[in-house]
Structure 1
Amino acid sequence: MPTPAERPVVEPGPELTAEQFARYSRQLMLPGFGDTAQRRLGAARVLIIGAGGLGTAVAPVLAASGIGTLGLIDDDVVELSNLHRQLAHGVADIGRPKVDSLADAIAAIDPGCRVIRHPERVTAATLPGILDGYDLVVDGSDNFPTRYLANDAAVLAGVPLVWGAILRFHGQVGVAWHGRGPTYRDLVPSPPPADEALSCELGGVLPTLCTAIGSFLATEVIKLVTGIGEPLIGRVLTYDALTARTREIPYAVSPETPAITGLIDYDLFCGVPDDSDLTALSAAALAGRLRAGERLTLLDVREPEEVAARRIPGSVPLPLAELRAGAVPDAAGAPLVVVCERDPRARTAARMLAERGLADVAYLAGGIQSYVAVGGEVEGDDIV
């Protein structure tokens, strides 16, 4: 007799056609799978948050397995820097909405899979209405505000959440299902400081990690939908790609976890400043523009000792305190890029300059740390 956590999420759909028997024959013969499990997959409606590294790994596998309806939510477009890890997108897709590119990849696998595109940002205002039409949700995002939002929305909707996280060489996978086990808030009660939370854009990611963790995510979805196996409820699977080792971290419902009664401002909860009106320049983009000889003014707002230790050649030092006191940088008519060690001070400075009327101001996302990580040239007393 299955435990409550193992009961299938979805009731079986219509009888399989001859074509479906042929298409899914290799999984229909699996022990404990069979016709009923396949019909559950066909009736399932799965929402995938993010059409990036994890989303492009999860969606094609789920479509190939026979999931009947896939929802894709993402407001981003395909960029060249995506292609090393987001394998459902190609060169011809650069500039296209990611949900459109991923939908085309799914259609090439199985035209019968219904794809619902949600080309919009995931917010507390939009997600509940979207999630209302799905049986479970997969979170493939790369930031803490969205992870907490996905968890809380799933709790309120009464559906399971399959979540994954990747960064550099490590990945995590878990299943949160309120009433059947602990949720993401039981595992991570408080978010890390915003200036310590790296994204893949700032910290990098091994491309094979996306497909590895994506496969784990898809497997958990199939298990929940069909009722086979033991879902990762109350357990987090961690994977270290450099050592090819996995380990399991058990966790339980915490009596200190507050009840979820509504959605909140998740950027505020995670301490993320509202910099949506600022222009961020990635480390790779800055390195590329400098190597191409583009004329830029780099404004370094760190303290003198930090600048002496290492700096981007040609950068102009102007400590943030002096900028606050009214000092005005000379951009010499070139686009201005503000830099600091990580990027919090650069964001503050960029906002101050924009408010003073300076146009064409950006900040270096991830700071000099990210610039060095992508091979950007630096000089200084600490450079040997």
Structure 2
Amino acid sequence: MEMTEDQIHRYSRHILLSEVGGSGQLKLLNSRVLIIGAGGLGSPVALYLAAAGVGHIGIVDMDVVDLSNLQRQVIHHSKDVGRPKVLSASEKMIALNPDVEVKTYQALLSSENAREIAEPYDVIVDGTDNFSAKFLINDLAVLTGKPLVHGGILRFSGQVMTIVPGQSACYRCIFREPPPAGAIPTCSEAGVLGVIAGVIGSIQATEVLKFLLGKGDLLTNHLLTYDALTVLIRKVGVRKNPRCPVCGDNPTITELHDYEQPVCANPV
């Protein structure tokens, strides 16, 4: 596969980077990334990966655009209120970069459909806002051996972690199981500064591109946290837990399970 003149011009700032070059850009054009969630985190991830020329992007979300989403979910516009988020997102991604093939899944990710949806993709991005989805996505990544870039936001803070199954700690190595119902406030109760989604989502997109290009140090075995009020960024080392129920030496979770836990995933 060779790039066209238009593609060389479009991606010229990538191609100028020695860490990317023409061969790296071709890698991106041939890569496949699944974004789960077309909301606050999924918005910047989807836009930046499309702009970067990641050739095949899947996006999963069952919801429709609500007026309250527009404060942070920048891929959606006022005219999109009431439309399925995946269709709204796909429209913007293709308008930004017609090179990109976008496959939409207007569905709730579950133990029944997760493996089938994820199967064609090289990397998974967690852009969800609830613990039930985050634990399901983590287990999906570990059980299928697919790299995962996790993200979470609430109020003025957020976190990012990259998981490479078999090599690094997973989400359950740190957070063993979902918290009790009511232990963590929901986004509608606690709120979230809209721009935090852009900060954390952009870091997630950066991790995806680094992984696909095979360049730089990933946030594996580290949890990056960001507090906007204090402008404090911390990179906390974590270890693979040999007693982790899904990636440990003697795993007890060998199949996907659904959790009833509709609360936002507070990062810290």
Q: TM-score, normalised by structure 2?
A: 0.93
Equivalent position to 1:164, from 126, 138, 151: 151
Q: Trace 1:258-273 onto structure 2 (pairs within 5 A).
A: 258=245, 259=251, 260-267=253-260, 272=261
Equivalent position to 1:149, from 132, 136, 144: 136
Map of 2:167 onto structure 1: 180
Displacement of 1:151 in angstroms is 0.6
Displacement of 1:35 in angstroms is 1.3
Deviates more, 1:175-184 or 1:213-222: 175-184
Distance of 2:198 and 2:235 partners within structure 1:
19
Map of 1:45 onto structure 2: 32
Displacement of 1:59 in angstroms is 0.1
1:209 corresponds to 2:202: no
The structure showing larger relative contact order (alpha-carbon pairs under 8 Å, at least 6 residues apart) is 2
Map of 1:218 onto structure 2: 205
Runs of 4+ in structure 1 deviating by more than 4 angstroms, as ranges, are none
Map of 1:92 onto structure 2: 79
Displacement of 1:265 in angstroms is 3.1
> Letter of the aligned partner of 2:215 in structure 1?
I
The percent identity for this pair of structures is 45
Distance of 2:73 and 2:66 partners within structure 1:
10
Distance of 1:76 and 1:66 partners within structure 2:
26
CA deviation map 1:60-97 (0-9, x unaligned): 00000010011010000001101111111111101000
Aligned alpha-carbon RMSD (Å): 1.5
Q: Trace 1:126-145 onto structure 2 (pairs within 5 A).
A: 126-145=113-132
Displacement of 1:232 in angstroms is 0.5
Distance of 2:221 and 2:71 partners within structure 1:
33
Distance of 1:69 and 1:265 partners within structure 2:
27
Displacement of 1:27 in angstroms is 1.3
Displacement of 1:204 in angstroms is 0.8
Displacement of 1:41 in angstroms is 0.6
Count of aligned positions: 258
Distance of 1:133 and 1:194 partners within structure 2:
34
Q: TM-score, normalised by structure 1?
A: 0.65
Displacement of 1:266 in angstroms is 2.2
Structure 2 contact 135–177 (Cα < 8 Å) conserved: no
Displacement of 1:234 in angstroms is 0.3
Deviates more, 1:27-36 or 1:42-51: 27-36
CA deviation map 1:93-131 (0-9, x unaligned): 010000010011101100120000000001111111100
Q: Trace 1:1-384 onto structure 2 (pairs within 5 A).
A: 14-258=1-245, 259=251, 260-267=253-260, 272=261
Structure 1 contact 140–163 (Cα < 8 Å) conserved: yes
> Letter of the aligned partner of 1:212 in structure 2?
V
CA deviation map 1:317-351 (0-9, x unaligned): xxxxxxxxxxxxxxxxxxxxxxxxxxxxxxxxxxx
Unaligned runs of 5+ in 1: 1-13, 274-364, 367-384
Distance of 1:41 and 1:243 partners within structure 2:
36
Displacement of 1:159 in angstroms is 0.6
Distance of 2:5 and 2:131 partners within structure 1:
45
Unaligned runs of 5+ in 2: 246-250
Partner SS, residue 25 of structure 2: helix
> Letter of the aligned partner of 2:128 in structure 1?
S
